[in-house]
Amino acid sequence: MKIRIICLGKTKQKFIEEGIKEYQKRILKYTKLEWNILPDVKLTGSKTVEIVKEQEAIILEKKLPTSSIIVVLDENGKEFSSKKFAGYLEQKLNVGKDITFVIGGVYGLSNRILQKADMILSFSRFTFTHQMIRFLLAEQLYRSFTIIKGKKYHY
């Protein structure tokens, strides 16, 4: 069983990339973790935001595994406390399936991708950059495993 994170576009800020690497290293003590960073689609004069989101949906659909629990990050999703998220994660991991988290690009995700989700997750009512959310997800995954295993990190 593993956790997969699929996201669009490269992480451009060095400090975010370094933070992600640190939490990835920590998470690997608990489970397999795979990052799939896919190319994003640029907004041009001939492409609207909706066209960009639809083209990115095509890219994402090619990488979505069929036998995985799909959790899509979106500002309109369900919010959890860290403890409740850890409980959700533990429950899903006990099912024995992989879990795939999907983070959209600059403009969010197409409804096509949202409809494929087993759950839509929001980290906050605040809006974060799609690159910052990668770091926050990595930290919350690590925090969840420490909660599940009864480690002191959360407390």
pLDDT at 113 over 90: yes
Spatial neighbors of 79 by CB under 8 A, at least 6 apart, are 121, 122, 123, 124, 125
Provide, rounded to the nearest whole percent, the portion of the chain with pLDDT above 70. 99
Task: Give me the number of domains the chain comprises.
Answer: 1
Question: Does the residue 138 lie in any domain?
Answer: yes
Residue 115 pLDDT level (bands cut at 50, 70, 90)? very high
Question: Does the residue 21 lie in any domain?
Answer: no
Question: Does the residue 35 lie in any domain?
Answer: yes
Rounded Cα distance between 100 and 109, Å, is 15
Q: What is the CATH number of the domain that holds 125?
A: 3.40.1280.10
CB atoms within 10 A of CB 65: 12
Strand intervals (E) in the chain? 2-8, 32-38, 68-78, 98-103, 119-121
Chain centre distance of CA 117: 12
Using CA atoms of 65, 68, 73, 78 in order, give the dihedral in degrees to the nearest 10.
150
Beta bridge partners of residue 64, listed in sequence order: none
Residue 22 pLDDT level (bands cut at 50, 70, 90)? very high
Using CA atoms of 100, 118, 104, 7 in order, give the dihedral in degrees to the nearest 10.
10
Domain hosting 61: range is: 2-9+30-148
**What pLDDT sits at residue 83?**
96
**What pLDDT sits at residue 127?**
87
**What pLDDT sits at residue 155?**
66
Question: Does the residue 113 lie in any domain?
Answer: yes
Question: Does the residue 123 lie in any domain?
Answer: yes
Question: Does the residue 20 lie in any domain?
Answer: no
